Amino acid sequence: MEKTDCLYRTSVDSLQNAQRKWEEDFENACKIYRELDIERITELRDIIWKGTNVDSQMCVDHDMCCEYTRNHLEKCDIQDELITFVDRARVGHLRPVHTYYQNYFKGTGLNNRKLSGTSDFSEESIYQSVT
């Protein structure tokens, strides 16, 4: 009975030691997991914070571009802009020469008439059928 009691006592002591060791290991694991969570949350917070700052800066830059455009549009005078465009884009100051109709199907082809809306113009002469 004493031997069994001693064996029982040794078993209970071993169990208590194992339980204490398990509790220490579990507590250390919880501390490590807590530190990892703090690291993860801190990193995630920093990434989101920086991303939000980038988005905010882009909004500020976009607003500044819009304000720059509005300022220029306020100074815009339509007549001056048209005159400036015509001055920059024109290719000459003379009107093109009038185009004359020449009938190659009748006679010698020397019948010249103006095609610019004068009184001797007729639609008939443009649409003559070839015979």
Q: Which residues are CB-contacts of 120 (< 8 A; sequence separation ≥ 6)? A: 113, 114
What is the reported pTM?
A: 0.46
pLDDT tens-place string over residues 69-115:
999 999 989 999 999 998 888 877 788 788 888 888 876 545 445 44
Domain ranges of the chain: 2-94, 97-131
Per the model's pLDDT, the better-predicted residue between 39 and 113 turns out to be: 39
Alpha helices in 75-115 (DSSP H): 78-89
**Cβ-contact 82, 68 below 8 angstroms:** no
Q: Which residues are CB-contacts of 121 (< 8 A; sequence separation ≥ 6)? A: 101, 113, 114, 115
Q: Give the model's pLDDT for residue 129.
A: 46
Out of 17-26, 85-94, 118-127, least confident range: 118-127
Q: Give the model's pLDDT for residue 108.
A: 55
**Cβ-contact 114, 121 below 8 angstroms:** yes
Q: Give the model's pLDDT for residue 114.
A: 45
